[in-house]
Structure 1
Amino acid sequence: MERENKVSMAVIRRLPKYYRYLGELLDKDITRISSHELSNITGFTASQIRQDLNNFGGFGQQGYGYNVEELHKQLGKILGLEKIYKAVLVGAGNLGQAVANYKGFEDAGFKLLALFDKNPKLIGLKIRDIEILDVDNVEEFISKNEVEIGIITTPKEHAQSVADKFVKSNIKGIWNFAPTDLKVPEDIVVENVHLNESLFILSYMYKEKNEK
């Protein structure tokens, strides 16, 4: 969706939370909700919710609120969840296997086609019926299967070389779990999940609350 004014990343990072809570409302057969009620659920102010949604045209009606099913559907489209993304994962150790077992892949429209590793003890094994293949064959596999998303769960010293393989294979989106910042062309989208940084933030917040 092209927009004259670019939507801030802060707004975009709130959209998945709205989408998740709206899904839970649908499961409870709730058909409409006001911004104030949605505020109580999400923790964001009603004003913030209205401002966020107005970035995409607004979806509510005064005196009615939001149609839960329609808003959930529209946010899914905005987040790109109406299509299936083919993905591969490199780094099939403990972290990689945990990520591969994550049920949220299917919920978000990601189809994990294969895992890759260099450890001969892992090659040939299957995680959720998805085979672990030799990482030397990852570029050929990506090109042959028109893979769009690459996931990195390797140690940090191997992450850049994996990213380079992804770039050569024309992958345009990388989900990076390695604790390092990747150097990729500007047209490649990278979402970093740095677990250590998240733990550091938890440590800071805990310290602030308990050392006063």
Structure 2
Amino acid sequence: MSRKISMAVIRRLPKYHRYLRDLLEKDVNRISSKELSKIIGFTASQIRQDLNNFGGFGQQGYGYNVEELYKEISTILGLEEEYNTIIIGAGNLGQAIANYAGFRSSGFRIKALFDINPRLIGLKIRELEIFDIEDIKEYVTANNIKIAVICIPKDKVQSIANELADAGISGIWNFAPVDLELPEDVIVENVHLTESLFTLSYLLNEKKLGHELPEE
């Protein structure tokens, strides 16, 4: 039977995952929803409701086994899979992402970068070679690439995304400030940095005006 989970719940799961990992590093074995609410910022009721979407993880009077819950959420998030990943755009943002070591431990295997700048082609970032963007379709097909991270100017994004979709890419992590139009079988997660910054600006302004800030 299929299940319908709201995006609001889905977007809270990585936060649960992060805090549970921190608890494991502190050798915490068990935690109640009330204790978890104090450190994560969600109400105990919200935590129970969120987790009940995926089955019963806790026991009344016992709480949650931290390690088991962490593993369950890792499975729900698909982090037990390995995703061959490429980065489109070897500028400052693309290089920063390539240099982030946390992706490998989460199953995201960055295989290469691509760029249009001939001065960058052939160079390496953390032993990852930068290839000519003209070769991208062939590389995606030959190397079973599942995810593409896009870090290029918006005027080039749609055409590159179309090529990726034609090559069989499964997901795109899009940092370009443009909404992509792609087939439904390609999952797109947009990260619009300016929109996030503008949200911060709004909240700072609301605080300055003495208005009550919204809850997460």
1:71-110 CA deviation, whole Å, 9 max, x = no partner? Answer: 0000000000001100111111111111111222113210
Where structure 1 has 5 or more consecutive residues not aligned to the other structure, the ranges are none
Distance 1:70 1:178 in 2: 37
What one-letter code is carried by the residue in structure 2 that aligns with 1:75? Answer: I
1:200 to 187, 198, 201: 198
Alpha-carbon shift at residue 33 of structure 1 (Å): 0.3
Q: Deviations over 1:173-196 (max 9, x none)?
A: 000000000010111100000001
SS of 1:114's partner is strand
Q: Structure 2: which amino acid aligns with 1:86?
A: N
5+ residue gaps, structure 2 = 211-216
Rounded Cα–Cα distance in structure 2 between residues aligned with 1:104 and 1:79: 16
- Identity across aligned pairs (percent)? 62
TM-score (norm 2): 0.95
Which runs of 4 or more aligned residues in structure 1 lie more than 6 Å from their structure 2 counterparts after TM superposition?
Answer: none
Q: 1:138 aligns with which of 136, 139, 154?
A: 136
Q: What is the CA-CA distance between 1:211 and the residue it aligns to?
A: 2.9
What pairs with 1:16-35 in structure 2 (closer than 5 Å)?
Answer: 16-35=14-33
Alignment of 1:55-204 (within 5 A): 55-204=53-202
Q: Secondary structure at the match of 1:185?
A: coil
SS in 2 for 1:99: helix
Match of 2:213 in 1: none
> How far does the alpha carbon of each residue in 1:9-52 deviate from its partner, in whole angstroms, 9 at most, with x for none?
00000000001100011111110000001000100000000000
Amino acid at match of 1:7: I
Question: Structure 2 CA distance, aligned partners of 1:29 and 1:5?
Answer: 34
Distance across 1 between alignment mates of 2:106 and 2:178: 25
Structure 1, residues 153-210: CA drift from partner, whole Å, max 9, x if none? 0011111111011101000100000000001011110000000100110111111111
Q: What's the TM-score once normalised by structure 1's chain length?
A: 0.97
